[in-house]
Amino acid sequence: MAVLAFILSLVAIAMAYVALQRTGGLRDLRQQMDHLTAKTEDAAKGARETTADILQRLEHMVRGSSTQPSSKGETHPPPP
């Protein structure tokens, strides 16, 4: 009985390998992983920028600063 289970497991492994090769193999999986990683990094970068903008607006509201920076790159602390 153990021999039959071993043979069936070898057949299953062989079938899984053939299926992997037919769908693109490991190279295709790596390309998909790189693509998903890039998309995730872009989404995270956008979320960080949005959060930073919101926090900056909130800071100006709390501190009562009447002047807002004209562009994203020019953030100056309020005068003492």
d(CA 64, CA 47): 26
Q: Which domain holds residue 9?
A: 2-58
The answer to whether residue 6 sits within a structural domain is yes
pLDDT higher at 8 or 31: 8
| Tally of domains within the chain | 1
What's the pLDDT score for residue 80? Answer: 53
Tokens 């289970």 map to which residue?
A: 5
Question: What tokens appear for 14 in the block?
Answer: 């062989």
pLDDT higher at 6 or 25: 6
The answer to whether residue 74 sits within a structural domain is no
The answer to whether residue 72 sits within a structural domain is no
Write the pLDDT tens digit of every residue in 64-77: 765 555 555 555 55
Cβ atoms within 10 Å, residue 20 = 13
The three-state secondary structure class of 70 is coil
The answer to whether residue 49 sits within a structural domain is yes
The answer to whether residue 68 sits within a structural domain is no
- The stretch 51-61 carries a mean pLDDT of 91
pLDDT band at 2 (very low <50, low <70, confident <90, very high): very high
